[in-house]
C-alpha cells in the first residue's frame, strides 16, 4: 500500500476525505509533513505525486480525523492487572482513536498536579494514542471538598469530574459550577442520584422483577439532571452530562439547551445499540453503569443523537478482569470495554439510516474536541496529523478474545458490525495497521 521515502513528507492519495468539522466529503488526497497536515483537498496531486515523498494509496477508503474519545477509564495507576496506559493505547489505535480523555478514579486519584503530569508523561513515552486527563472535581472524589481546580487546569486537566461517582452534594456542585464559570472550566457529571441507584444492578422494571434483581429507576438520572440544570441556571457554569441513557434524560437536556444553558452531553454505544434485554441470561458483560435501559429509552437516545440534543459519543471504556466479571450477576462489577468497537458501533447509526456517515463521524471527532476545547478531530492544514483510514462497509464479528485491551468484557462480543479500521496515524506516524 505504501512507497517509502525519508523526506518526512507522506502523501495519502486515492482517498475519500471526510472532515465532519467542515462537511468535506470528497475524493482527494492529504499531505503530511512530519507531525502536521501540510495540505488536503480534492485537487491535491492531480498532476501526480512529486518525487521525494512516501506515498500511501488509500485505495478509495475513508480518510478522516482520528477519533476523540472523551470518556475512558485507564486503570493505571492502581489496577494495572485490568488495563495499563500501554494496553489502552494499543486498544485505542486499533479502534481508530488518536486522542482519549481519562477519568480521575485511579489509585491514587488524579486530584494533584503530580498525578496529572504522571499520566501525560507516561502516555507521551508510550507514543500511541494521546492521553489527556480529567482531574477530580473534589478531593479523593469524595464529594466533599473541591480539588485545586485552577492549578490542575494549568497542569493540563481538560475538565473536572468525580468519574463514576455523581457529585451528590448540591452545595458542592454549586461551588464547582461557580468556580467553573469564573475560570471557563468544564464540569462533567455522572448523572445518577446515588441513593436511588444504591444496590441496583440493572434497569428497574418487569425484566428485573422476573430475574429477581434489584433495579435502578429511570428517575435516578432524571432527578440528578433536573437538580443540576437548576444549578447551572443559577451559576452560569459549563456543564457536561456523561452517558445519557434515558428518554427523560434526553428531554431534560433538550429543554435546558432550548433555554440557552451552557449544557452539553454524550452517550455511549451500548445506550443506542443495546437495551436491557442484553442482560438476559444474567450476562455480566452487559452489566453497565448506568444500566442498559428499555427499548423506548434506546430509541430516545437515537433520536437525541439525530437531532443534536446529544452532542457526542464516547466509548465509556471500563475494563474489568475475569475475577470481576466471571461471577454471579449480583456481585459482578459494572462496566464494559469499548475502545475497539467505538467506530464500528457508531457507524451503525449511518448504516441504519439514522444519519449520514459524516454526521456519525462528527459524534466521535470534532464534536467531543469542541466540548473539551481540544485541538483535534479536524482535517486542517497545520493541525496535528492524527488520522484514521477505515473501510465503512467491511463487516466483521466482534471477538473480544482478540482485543488489545487487557480486559475482554465487551457487551458487543459476538456481535456482527460494519466498519473496519485499516490504519491509524498519530502525529504523522503510523501506529496501527490492520494486517488481514
Strand positions, DSSP E, 347-413: 387-397
Dist CA 20 CA 302 (whole Å): 19
Dist CA 369 CA 371 (whole Å): 6
Dist CA 291 CA 207 (whole Å): 13
* pLDDT for residue 1 is more than 60: no
Q: Considering the domain boundaries, does residue 156 fall inside one?
A: yes
Q: Tens digits of per-residue pLDDT, 104-159?
A: 999 999 999 999 999 988 888 999 999 999 999 999 999 999 999 999 999 999 99
Q: Considering the domain boundaries, does residue 388 fall inside one?
A: no
Residue with cell string 479500521 = 421
Rounded (5°) CA angle 196-111-239 = 55
Q: Is 91 left (phi over 0), alpha (psi -120 to 50) or beta?
A: alpha
Quickly count: other Cβ atoms within 10 Å of residue 72's Cβ: 29
The rounded mean pLDDT for the chain is: 96
Residue 35 burial class via C-beta count within 10 angstroms: exposed 0-12, middle 13-18, buried 19 and up: middle
* pLDDT for residue 2 is more than 60: no
Q: Considering the domain boundaries, does residue 57 fall inside one?
A: no
What's the rounded mean pLDDT across residues 41-45? 94
User: Which residue, among 60, 63, 62, has the nearest Cα to 32 in the 3D structure?
Assistant: 63
CATH of the domain at 196: 3.20.20.140
Q: What cell was used for 327?
A: 461471577
Q: Tens digits of per-residue pLDDT, 246-294?
A: 999 999 999 999 999 999 999 999 999 999 999 988 999 999 999 999 9
Dist CA 94 CA 99 (whole Å): 12
* CA terminus-to-terminus distance, the chain: 13
Q: In this prediction, what percent of the chain has a pLDDT beyond 70?
A: 98
Q: pTM score, two decimals?
A: 0.96
64: which strand partners? 388
Q: Which residues are catalytic?
A: 316
Q: Considering the domain boundaries, does residue 47 fall inside one?
A: no
User: Which residue, among 242, 246, 165, 251, has the nearest Cα to 205 in the 3D structure?
Assistant: 246
User: Which residue, among 344, 325, 347, has the nearest Cα to 334 in the 3D structure?
Assistant: 325
Dist CA 206 CA 215 (whole Å): 10
- Rounded to 5 degrees, φ, ψ at 84 are -130, 170
Range scoring the smallest mean pLDDT among 78-87, 308-317, 360-369? 78-87
pLDDT bracket for residue 7 (50, 70, 90): confident
Q: Are 292 and 274 in contact (CB under 8 A)?
A: yes
Annotated binding-site ranges for substrate: 105, 334-335
Q: Is the link from the previous residue into 199 a cis peptide, with omega within 30 of 0?
A: no
Dist CA 166 CA 157 (whole Å): 19
Rg of the chain taking only CA atoms, in angstroms? 21
Dist CA 251 CA 290 (whole Å): 17
**Structural domains in the chain (count):** 1
Q: Considering the domain boundaries, does residue 37 fall inside one?
A: no
Dist CA 86 CA 101 (whole Å): 14
Q: What cell was used for 302?
A: 437515537
Dist CA 295 CA 292 (whole Å): 9
* pLDDT for residue 5 is more than 70: no
Angstrom CA distances, 282 to 204, 268, 278, stand at 15, 21, 9
Rounded (5°) CA angle 313-307-342 = 20
Annotated binding-site ranges: 105, 190, 243, 316, 334-335
**Structural domain range at position 261:** 66-379
Dist CA 287 CA 56 (whole Å): 42
Quickly count: other Cβ atoms within 10 Å of residue 296's Cβ: 11
Dist CA 60 CA 360 (whole Å): 19
Dist CA 283 CA 326 (whole Å): 9
Q: Considering the domain boundaries, does residue 157 fall inside one?
A: yes
Dist CA 98 CA 65 (whole Å): 9
Q: Are 98 and 385 in contact (CB under 8 A)?
A: no
User: Which residue, among 76, 68, 67, has the nearest Cα to 406 in the 3D structure?
Assistant: 76
Amino acid at each position: 500500500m505504501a512507497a517509502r521515502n525519508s523526506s518526512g513528507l507522506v502523501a495519502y492519495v486515492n482517498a475519500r476525505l471526510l472532515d465532519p468539522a467542515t462537511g468535506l466529503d470528497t475524493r482527494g488526497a492529504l499531505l503530511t509533513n512530519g507531525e502536521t497536515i501540510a495540505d488536503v483537498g480534492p485537487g491535491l496531486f492531480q498532476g501526480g505525486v512529486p518525487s521525494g515523498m512516501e506515498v500511501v494509496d488509500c485505495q478509495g477508503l475513508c480518510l478522516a480525523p482520528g477519533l476523540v474519545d472523551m470518556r475512558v477509564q485507564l486503570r493505571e495507576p492502581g489496577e494495572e492487572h485490568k488495563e495499563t496506559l500501554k494496553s489502552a493505547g494499543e486498544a485505542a489505535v486499533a479502534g481508530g482513536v488518536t486522542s482519549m480523555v481519562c477519568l480521575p478514579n485511579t489509585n491514587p486519584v488524579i486530584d494533584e498536579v503530580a498525578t496529572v503530569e504522571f499520566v501525560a508523561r507516561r502516555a507521551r513515552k508510550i507514543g500511541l494514542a494521546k492521553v489527556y486527563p480529567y482531574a477530580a472535581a473534589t478531593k479523593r472524589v469524595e464529594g466533599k471538598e473541591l480539588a485545586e481546580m485552577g492549578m490542575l487546569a494549568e497542569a493540563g486537566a481538560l475538565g473536572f469530574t468525580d468519574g463514576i461517582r455523581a457529585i451528590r452534594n448540591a452545595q458542592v456542585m454549586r461551588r464547582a459550577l461557580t468556580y467553573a464559570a469564573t475560570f471557563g472550566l468544564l464540569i462533567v457529571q455522572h448523572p445518577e442520584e446515588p441513593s436511588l441507584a444504591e444496590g441496583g444492578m440493572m434497569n428497574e422494571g418487569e425484566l428485573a422483577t422476573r430475574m429477581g434483581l434489584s433495579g435502578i429507576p429511570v428517575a435516578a438520572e432524571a432527578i440528578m439532571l433536573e437538580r443540576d440544570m437548576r444549578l447551572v441556571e443559577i451559576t452560569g457554569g459549563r456543564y457536561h452530562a456523561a452517558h445519557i441513557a434515558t428518554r427523560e434524560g434526553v428531554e431534560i437536556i433538550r429543554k435546558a439547551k432550548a433555554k440557552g444553558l451552557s449544557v452539553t452531553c454524550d452517550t455511549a454505544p451500548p445506550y443506542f445499540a443495546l437495551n436491557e434485554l442484553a442482560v438476559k441470561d444474567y450476562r455480566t458483560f452487559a452489566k453497565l453503569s448506568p444500566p442498559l435501559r428499555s427499548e423506548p429509552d434506546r430509541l430516545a437516545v437515537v433520536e437525541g443523537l439525530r437531532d443534536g440534543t446529544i452532542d457526542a459519543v464516547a466509548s465509556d471504556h471500563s475494563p474489568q478482569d475475569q475475577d470481576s466479571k466471571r461471577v454471579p450477576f449480583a456481585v459482578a462489577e459494572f462496566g464494559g470495554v469499548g475502545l475497539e468497537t467505538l467506530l464500528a458501533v457508531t457507524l451503525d447509526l449511518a448504516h441504519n439510516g439514522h444519519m449520514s456517515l459524516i454526521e456519525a463521524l462528527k459524534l466521535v471527532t470534532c464534536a467531543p474536541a469542541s466540548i473539551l476545547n481540544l485541538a483535534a478531530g479536524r482535517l486542517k492544514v497545520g493541525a496535528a496529523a492524527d488520522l484514521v483510514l477505515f473501510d465503512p462497509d467491511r463487516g466483521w464479528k466482534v471477538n473480544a478474545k482478540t482485543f488489545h485491551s487487557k480486559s475482554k468484557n465487551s457487551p458487543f462480543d459476538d456481535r456482527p458490525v460494519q466498519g473496519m479500521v485499516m490504519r491509524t496515524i498519530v502525529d504523522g506516524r503510523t501506529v496501527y495497521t490492520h494486517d488481514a
